Amino acid sequence: MCLIVVGWRAHPDYPLVVAANRDEFYARPTADATRWADDPQVIGGIDLEAGGTWLGVSETGRFAAVTNVREPGMVPGVRSRGALTRDFLLSSGSAGDYVKRIDGGQFSGFNLLLCDGLSLFYCSNRDGEPRALAPGIYGLSNHLLDSPWPKLLQARQSFGKAIQHLPAEQAIFDLLADQAIVADENLPKTGVPIEWERLLSAVFVKSESYGTRASTLVWQRSDGMVKLHEQTFGANGQPLQSSVISTSVKHGT
């Protein structure tokens, strides 16, 4: 997952709204968003290589998403970052308790967003102590929370406007489809070759081998209804499948 924008209690009728693009090599095996066989209350995609997920929700009111920290040359962690989201979605404790138990040293650099229905937490093994987030609009890419990368600043601004039109969704998917490349003088310097910095500077990334595999909108309404709308893509941004899964939070589960 390479871009996430979140509205946490920023809309009176939608306490949680998330728009996200997952960027990955097209060759990495993936299952599209679905109810999980081992726990049908959980809805999300599945990384078929390591078994975790980049983003998911559950009928217990939980939400989880992860991005990697771009740090070329670092020794990989012994565990997949997707396990962080998977394990939270399958657990029942609070987000605050969960983040306290994470051994960040087992993982490559990560950013983690976890919501238990009451609190939204941000956690990173590259950014100090986990913290509960106040109501507002936040953005993550492949650095730290709200790092001022051009694509993140643009996406966050557009998202703040787009959520005011919910339940209409087109404006949110439009911002996730932005393919504009940032001018060289404004590119972040993350240690990858300049050709990759250019490619990755777009909100929607596309090439022959790597790019945005899924654009996802998730929201939870104040009446408990939950919706996940996912559009998947292949090489060079070719649209593949669109799926919508709606459910509601089951209190007491």
In tens, the pLDDT along 169-225 reads: 999 999 999 999 999 999 999 999 999 999 999 999 999 999 999 999 999 999 999
Cβ partners under 8 Å of residue 204, min gap 6: 21, 176, 177, 178, 179, 211, 212, 215, 237
Give me the residues paired with residue 112 across strands. Answer: 66, 123
The 3-state secondary structure of 164-187, one letter per residue: HHCCCCHHHHHHHCCCCCCCHHHC
From 49, 73, 57, 56, select the one nearest 22 (Cα to Cα): 56
Output the pLDDT for position 123: 97
Domains by residue range for the chain, with CATH: 3-248 (3.60.60.10)
Output the pLDDT for position 73: 86
Output the pLDDT for position 178: 97
Output the pLDDT for position 151: 96
Peptide bond into 12 cis (omega under 30): no
β-strand pairing of 3-8 with 16-25: antiparallel
Instruction: Show the low-confidence residues of the chain (pLDDT under 70).
Output: 1, 251-253
Give one word for 2, left, alpha or beta, with left for phi > 0 and alpha for psi -120 to 50: alpha
